[in-house]
Amino acid sequence: MPEPLAMLPPRDTLGRPLHDLRISVTDRCNFRCVYCMPRAVFGPDHAFLPTADLLTFDEIARLVRTFARMGVEKVRLAGGEPLVRRELPVLVAALAAIPGIRDLTLTTNGVLLPAQAEALKAAGLQRVTISLDADDDETFMRLNDARVPVERVLAGMEAAEAAGLGPIKLNMVVKRGWNEHAILPMARRFRGTGRILRFIEYMDVGHSNGWRLDDVVTADEILRLISSEFAVEPMEPTAQGEVAERYRYLDGAGEIGIIASVSRPFCGSCNRARLSADGQLYTCLFATTGHDLRGLLRRGASDEELESDLRRAWNGRDDRYSEIRSAETVDLPKVEMSYIGG
């Protein structure tokens, strides 16, 4: 007998399943990266979300249980900077215990990992992805605008590896005129270390980073630069909906990835939903509006009502921003990266 439609994993209007969930646990961050939270916008007077507006850990866990019933298997915690949210291992432990969640990871700038890596691992976190946009202090500090040197991020990597939170992936956002000169030095540094470096095209997320197409160093440019010194070949994706194009070094020194949302959009296979720190569901990284789940929770919705609402939201999804990007869409007031979790 066929399974009832309500029990099947939902698919959106383009036939894409729901498989991954990114959760922003806070909109606050200890960096002011120029491509995400530029200090001119997120300065001392910026109004961050009050604590009462944030989803509680119990509310997040309840939502994840519902998403898991709908087919979500992978959960990534993000921010802002997720490690500034107090008692984060408590949330990790709750999520790790949810049936169906097979991959529980976290994206961080790494500087708070030395104090938290062991507790996160003990709570059930499996891996971390760490952001590092250059391996020299001058460039990196110019980008993070918080006077944080590279050594502090490297210390976070070491703490994560010592705690068993590996293999580590490193994200390097490449912005023309800022850090394209660091592409090869970063590749040299992390070849053969077991740390997987991923280059990310600078994207027009949010409405405050002053994005211009001319600032994008494309995947083809990045690959040509890497190939000028190291022989690489393409690798097969490891999972459906994987966003990074993978390449292996022919000499066996590991792999790199390139995330090319601008020059080679992958909307057609996107299976990811995003939950903001205050409980808005976003079905696209470049969304202009969200779907209020916190309101449902706090009005006392039953589990059945919550799942029904989530299914309607995903079933009606038709997002494909990167495929239709234009001068008009770039200027839309999109949700900020720090709010949506990247």
Collapsing DSSP to helix, strand or coil, 96 comes out as: helix
Residue 342 pLDDT level (bands cut at 50, 70, 90): low
Q: What is the mean pLDDT of residues 294-319?
A: 96
Helix residue ranges per DSSP H, the chain: 57-69, 88-96, 113-123, 137-144, 150-163, 183-190, 219-227, 293-298, 303-315, 321-324, 327-330, 337-340
> What confidence score (pLDDT) does residue 65 get?
98
Q: What single-letter amino acid sits at 297?
A: L
Q: How many residues does the chain have?
A: 342
- Cβ neighbour number for residue 161 with a 10 Å cutoff: 18
> What confidence score (pLDDT) does residue 17 get?
95
Average pLDDT over all residues of the chain: 93
Residue 82 CA, chain-centre distance (Å), reads 11
d(CA 248, CA 55): 40
Peptide bond into 167 cis (omega under 30): yes
d(CA 209, CA 287): 16
Report the percentage of the chain scoring pLDDT > 90.
81
Collapsing DSSP to helix, strand or coil, 61 comes out as: helix
> What confidence score (pLDDT) does residue 32 get?
95
Q: What is the mean pLDDT of residues 187-216?
A: 89
d(CA 305, CA 235): 42
Tokens linked to 215:
């600032």
Q: Give the model confidence (pLDDT) of 161-182 as tens digits.
A: 999 999 999 999 999 999 999 9
Residue 223 pLDDT level (bands cut at 50, 70, 90): very high
Contact, 143 vs 34, CB < 8 A?
yes
Closest alpha carbon to 88 in 277, 296, 291: 277
Helix H or strand E encompassing 169: strand 169-174
d(CA 41, CA 223): 33
Q: Give the model confidence (pLDDT) of 273-287 as tens digits.
A: 999 999 999 999 888
The DSSP-derived string for 278-321 is TSEEESSTT-S--EEHHHHHHTT--HHHHHHHHHHHHHT----H
Contacts of 241 (CB under 8 A, 6+ apart): 19, 20, 269, 270, 271, 272
Residue 5 pLDDT level (bands cut at 50, 70, 90): very low
> What confidence score (pLDDT) does residue 2 get?
41
Set out the domains of the chain in order of their start, with CATH numbers.
5-340 (3.20.20.70)
Residue 4 pLDDT level (bands cut at 50, 70, 90): very low
Contact, 154 vs 202, CB < 8 A?
no
